[in-house]
Amino acid sequence: MQPNGLALPLLLGALWLTAPLAQANPTQHQFDYRVRSAPADELHMEAPQLPDLSGYTKEAVLAKIPREKRGQVVVRRMLREDALKDFTGGNERLREWIERQQGMPQAIFIEGGLVTAQDLAKALPDSQFQEQEPGVYIARLPIVVAQGAALHVGKETRELRLSQERGSFLVNDGLMFLTDTRVTAWREADNGPATMRDDGKEFRPFLVSWGGSELYIASSVITSLGYDNSKSYGVSITQYTPNMHARLKREEPTGWLIDSEFVDHWYGFYCYEAQNVVIKGNTYRDNIVYGIDPHDRSHGLIIAENKVFGTKKKHGIIISREVNDSWIINNESYDNKLSGVVIDRNSERNLIAYNRVHGNHSDGITLYESGDNLLWGNQVLGNRRHGIRIRNSENIRLYENLSAMNQLTGVYGHIRDLSDTDRDLKLDPFDTKVSMIIVGGTLAGNGSSPISIDSPLSVELYRVKMLAPSKSTGIQLAGILGEKQDEILDLMLRQRLPVLIDPIEPEPMTN
């Protein structure tokens, strides 16, 4: 379903046909630019096909639980276990568990079949896993679901608590199901959640789901997981580290996180080299660094119908480093410390559609070094910097978007040389090139300009409404568009023709 339209009283009486034209100050560019009409039929595009979300339900999750074989519970040392090597390698991380367990660290292993929280309580002493009150359990050791095994924490469990003092956390190397329950990082000294303190330096329990695994969370509340350490960010679905993956050769991990709430995590969600993960209908609130953060070479993701707000350090939703062929649709992202939605570091062929992105403390939707993406029908409103910002990205298509009442520009396109930054140019290459097509939609009441673009390879504009200029001088384009404003607006607004702005390359020098 598309978001409802937004009433914009500021637009009344500010029709673009009567707005005075104001010439922006000229700037220096590598090329001179020309303005000409473009074929309209080449710009036509049908509304994008969205994935069918009807099958991603709690009932479908419950149907996946393998109930035919019961598993077993064993406790053994954490050392030399593949699923734990990332957390026991090096003296510092190993010391963490030795100090918390007061001895050689151990973990609970689920093997051979399906185990529930009730099974764990029956199999283990209270010092390792205890039912504190009916349906409320606390784990005082890490819990590892082995390959070929499954853990289900369901509605019979009102809450599963993971002891911070004792160093508990969850590792999934098989199948994990959390349904109709609560999972909370628990500070026993306070008899309450292990809320963030010490800016992420202090250990907090976390959940990680490794290569070859499947993680399913439905209709649950997950609270206060994660801290600033590798693979320990909160709720993570991640391939093994490169050396481990080369040896184990596990498939890309996957999972569904649906209709749940994620609160006060270091990262609300993180994935790495994951496939076909579904993040649907969740609330991500008051997380620390990011709300939703798919990363490196994850693909086929569906991020849909989530509400993401109150992220304290950075962005609400971000995909970064070759996260391709994915859908970010029908989400609401607001009141985050930086941008609402970010497409970053060579993430391509993604659809960003029908999102409502408003009141963020930086840009609304930001694209950095990520070409071949489509933005369709988004509402980008009242953000503190630009509505839609595009840097060093080619072939960006913006169709039927509303960018209004942002404090700077409605659509801002620019290039930047990043070679003087701390960026790893081998890992994250870039080109200082920007090009875009803007068709339909409305740019209204933005603080500095409806559109500003510097040094583009090309820009095409068609059927773009520009309303309610904030300046008394009227509509004022910026960048190269400002230099050619009279020609652009004559074609686009008066003649209602598509406009192509592209550079005139200089004639080659002859002897």
> Which pLDDT score is estimated for 423?
80
> Which pLDDT score is estimated for 425?
79
> Which pLDDT score is estimated for 187?
98
Of 152, 295, 299, 315, the active-site residue reads 295
> Which pLDDT score is estimated for 509?
62
Helix boundaries (H) for 199-292: 242-248
> Which pLDDT score is estimated for 23?
38
What is the per-residue burial (b if ≥16 Cβ within 10 Å, else e) of 184-197?
Answer: bbbbeeeeebbebe
Catalytic residue status for 245: no
In which element (H, E) is residue 87 found?
Answer: helix 85-88
Q: From the centroid of its chain, how far is CA 494?
A: 40
> Which pLDDT score is estimated for 421?
84
Each residue's pLDDT, cut to its tens digit, for the chain (511 residues) gives 444 444 443 343 333 333 333 333 334 446 799 999 999 999 999 999 999 999 999 999 999 999 999 999 999 999 999 999 999 987 788 999 999 999 999 999 999 999 999 999 999 999 999 999 999 999 999 999 999 999 999 999 999 999 999 999 999 999 999 999 999 999 999 999 999 999 999 999 999 999 999 999 999 999 999 999 999 999 999 999 999 999 999 999 999 999 999 999 999 999 999 999 999 999 999 999 999 999 999 999 999 999 999 999 999 999 999 999 999 999 999 999 999 999 999 999 999 999 999 999 999 999 999 999 999 999 999 999 999 999 999 999 999 999 999 999 999 999 988 888 888 878 888 889 999 999 999 999 999 999 999 999 999 999 999 998 777 777 899 999 999 999 999 999 899 999 999 999 776 666 5
Indicate the SS3 state at residue 418: coil
184, 159 contact by CB (below 8 A): yes
Residue 217 corresponds to which amino acid?
Answer: I
**Whole-model pTM above 0.95?**
no
Separation CA 292–CA 334 (nearest Å): 13
Structural domains present in the chain = 1-47+368-504 (no CATH), 72-111+114-313 (2.160.20.10)
In which element (H, E) is residue 107 found?
Answer: strand 106-111
